Structure 1
Amino acid sequence: MSGGFPEVRPRRLRSSAAVRRLVAETTLEPRQLILPMFIREGAREPIAIKSMPGVVQHTRDTARKAIAEAAQLGLGGVMLFGVPAVKDEVGSGALDPDGILNVAIRDAVSEVGDELLVMSDLCLDEFTSHGHCGVLDSSGRVDNDATLAIYAEMGVAQASAGAHVVGPSGMMDGQVGVVRTALDAAGYLDTVILAYAVKYASAFFGPFREAVDSSLQGDRKTYQQDNANARDALREVDLDVAEGADIVMVKPALAYLDIIRQVRDHVNVPVAAYNISGEYAMVEAAAANGWIDRDAAVLETLTSIRRAGADTILTYWAADAVHLLNRR
């Protein structure tokens, strides 16, 4: 204290919007955001997802329009999920060149070319009648190694359809290595692997299951990670990087900000985080009840994920966030 006043006044750097912009430590930019999208086979009009207000299962035509808008907004990419009309025990629709996901990839690439990264979810859960991320053995458990063989084919099918980035998300041991080997052998040396390296068995996935019409029986705790464990996350990341992952991802984001920070400090590859369906739904529900300022909460949420260390965020708010940023 000097003359009864503080000698250091941190509030000076908060005194106006202009000075706050000048000294902001964390940026949130369109290029850092990826929009997840659901495309439903045979849909003639978009189908609202009740638990995720504002998000829909797209038709092929509305998906193309949304992808074109994403490119115009300067987003980093779109992550495509297919919702097939028919499922079976082995998820054969995932390998079908005319299956909804591979068709949607081709549609997207024909719409935007290389102006926007077209990313595809590489997992069987949307395509299996039992809703698990892999095929089942005779005892009903997910068969890791049999699933890997399908993932390898799936990666090549998606790259052949034009995907710039494939996202192995099933949490099978060795999934990145088999996909990388298959892609390279097929000549897709430049196809990027965004590995869902850290994916927890989370209660916040609930609305996503409506979004993909999940048929899940039971849970995924035998292959997705236990939310009590942090060291396990770094082990998974190390394995995926060693197997050829170009980008690693943490999913979910908000309940795992500490994990995002640990992963960011641990590796030298880009780190993504998935701001998942339940996180989205909570904010939208609170805002709909008038309990919070929705727009401010959206930007605060995304900024917190960036501040934790994520270079890139998958978020259903991606397009909305750009409009909000432009109005600041």
Structure 2
Amino acid sequence: MLFPEYRPRRLRKNSSFRALIRETRLSAAQLVYPLFIMPGKNRKEEIISMPGVYRVTVDKLKKEAEECLALGINSVILFGLPEKKDAMGSGAHQKDGIIQTAIRELKKKVPEMLVITDVCLCEYTDHGHCGCIINKDVDNDATLEILAKTALSHVRAGADMVAPSDMMDGRIAEIRGALDENNFESVPIMSYAVKYASAFYGPFREAADCTPQFGDRRSYQMDPANSREALREATLDVDEGADILMVKPAVAYLDIIAKLKEEFDLPIAAYHVSGEYAMIKAAAEKGWIDGDRVMAETLLSIRRAGTDIIITYFAKDMAKILKQ
């Protein structure tokens, strides 16, 4: 039997060859670790549906950040759990709010850590929606001013980058304008440009206590059936001044990541969301899969699809493996 001259297995026969020709690589510096900040002092609570992920109080942030830096993770994204909520989400932009306090603590104690903040109202509204409710609907334009005030309050507290996740039309332009008018033109915006109305967010809603009290978010988050719409959404955000485009969730939307990578020359981020994390953890706990290998393969697939940045609850676990 005759074989072709080229035998692909020649370059697979040992780990050195495989490493030499590896096309896609993961680096801890490309990972962003989410942190949930809760009120109180000296508390750390594990989130039941997300084993290994915790809510922490502000005084615990220094240790969390230093652990990340030691592993090569240079960036965190913050989510806040306020003590009080109201219909307008006013706690989101308070000078001494939970996130504003957390930002100041991190930048004071661990200044080298890149601090990104989620800009949305769902964690701060008593109804759980991402904007103001007027006539029983989330009012897009009334929400924009509050989002801009929230982003500005984060940057004034010391945030290095803001990441609007609300999916209101026009919010990138509104936030960019507010930052520029206040001499923060050098602060970048990482837009949740393509955020789907996904069933994979369940554990996050427990973690951040932001499940909608009525209806759902399908009137402002994207229909999972649509891909061309993703390009329209991303184009609008680019035109409005976004610096980084994000796709959320990640694994179920690798095709969307690839489309954005091909279409735009901005950095592409993906949020490997809570449900995607929880499924791997649950299957590994049952012994059905090798959790570490599936984690690494999953994150590698997100990179291979075209991302430059991955927000993931696996950041620490993956960074430990990479360090070894």
TM-score under structure 1 length normalisation: 0.96
Q: Post-superposition shift, 1:243? A: 0.4
TM-score under structure 2 length normalisation: 0.98
Q: Which amino acid aligns with 2:321?
A: L
Q: Post-superposition shift, 1:62? A: 1.9
Match of 2:206 among 194, 204, 210: 210
Q: Post-superposition shift, 1:202? A: 0.2
Residue matched to 2:181: 185
Residue matched to 1:51: 49
Q: Which amino acid aligns with 2:219?
A: T
| Superimposed CA distance per residue, residues 103-158 of structure 1 (whole angstroms, 9 cap, x where no aligned partner) | 11111111221x22100000000000000000100x21101000001011111100
Q: Post-superposition shift, 1:71? A: 2.2
Partners of 1:43 and 1:144 in 2: CA distance: 36
Match of 2:273 among 272, 276, 297: 276
Contact 2:30 2:308 in 1 (8 A): yes
Match of 1:10 among 8, 11, 19: 8
Contact 1:131 1:215 in 2 (8 A): yes
Where in structure 2 are the equivalents of 1:1-328 lying within 5 Å? 4-113=2-111, 115-137=112-134, 139-217=135-213, 218-327=215-324
Provide the secondary structure at the position in 1 that maps to 2:11.
helix
Q: Post-superposition shift, 1:43? A: 4.9
Partners of 2:273 and 2:288 in 1: CA distance: 21
Provide the secondary structure at the position in 1 that maps to 2:88.
coil
- 4+ long deviations beyond 6 Å: none
| Superimposed CA distance per residue, residues 172-226 of structure 1 (whole angstroms, 9 cap, x where no aligned partner) | 0000000000000011111110000000000000000011012412210000000
Backbone CA RMSD of aligned residues: 1.0
Q: Post-superposition shift, 1:239? A: 0.4
Contact 1:46 1:57 in 2 (8 A): yes
- Bigger mean CA offset, 89-98 vs 280-289: 89-98
Partners of 1:323 and 1:149 in 2: CA distance: 41
Partners of 2:151 and 2:120 in 1: CA distance: 9
Q: Which amino acid aligns with 2:75?
A: G
Provide the secondary structure at the position in 2 that maps to 1:268.
coil
How many residues are treated as equivalent by the alignment? Answer: 323
Gaps of 5+ in 2: none
Calculate percent identity across the aligned residue pairs.
53
Gaps of 5+ in 1: none
Q: Which amino acid aligns with 2:132?
A: V
Q: Post-superposition shift, 1:14? A: 1.1
Q: Which amino acid aligns with 2:90?
A: S
Q: Which amino acid aligns with 2:106?
A: A
